[in-house]
């Protein structure tokens, strides 16, 4: 079964509430925010929000990174996430067979 996934974006509110909607549904709101139009209260489906309380409209990737950071994780130069205080050993995966052998011998 093939399902087409919809592109989502997240409007983050000052109080931490996340409003996830299809990016097309938030496109007009984003354009209004960028053009500095005073919007006031707006309705998004069943939600009525004050546009002044919108921190931003973010991609899922940005929201995922924010969640990792909130959980104390950090991203190494190899683009992998690690737990707080955990040493990165991703360079081992980049080594050739000969280099790995030398490394394991100490």
**Whole-number percent of the chain with pLDDT over 90:** 45
Could you tell me if 94 and 78 are in contact, meaning their C-beta atoms sit under 8 angstroms apart?
Answer: yes
- CA dist., res. 104 & res. 74, Å (int): 26
Cα torsion angle, 88, 92, 94, 99, sign: positive
Q: Is the pLDDT of residue 102 over 70?
A: no
Q: Report the pLDDT averaged over residues 33-54.
A: 86
Q: Is the pLDDT of residue 32 over 60?
A: yes
| Banded model confidence at residue 106, pLDDT cuts 50, 70, 90 | low
Helical spans, DSSP H, in 35-59: none
pTM for the structure as a whole: 0.70
Could you tell me if 57 and 11 are in contact, meaning their C-beta atoms sit under 8 angstroms apart?
Answer: yes
Q: What is the DSSP string of 63-100?
A: HHHHHHHHTT-EE-TTS-EE-TTPPP-THHHHS-HHHH
């Amino acid at each position: 079964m093939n399902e087409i996934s919809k592109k989502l974006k997240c409007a983050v509110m000052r109080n931490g509430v996340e409003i996830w909607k299809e990016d097309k549904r938030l496109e007009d709101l984003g354009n209004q925010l960028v053009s500095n139009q005073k919007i006031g209260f707006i309705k998004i489906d069943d939600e009525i929000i004050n546009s002044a309380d919108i921190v931003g409209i973010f991609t899922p990737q940005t929201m995922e990174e924010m969640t990792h950071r909130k959980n104390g994780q950090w991203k190494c130069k190899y683009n992998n996430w690690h737990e707080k205080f955990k040493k990165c050993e991703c360079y081992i995966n980049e080594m050739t067979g000969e280099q790995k052998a030398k490394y394991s011998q100490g």
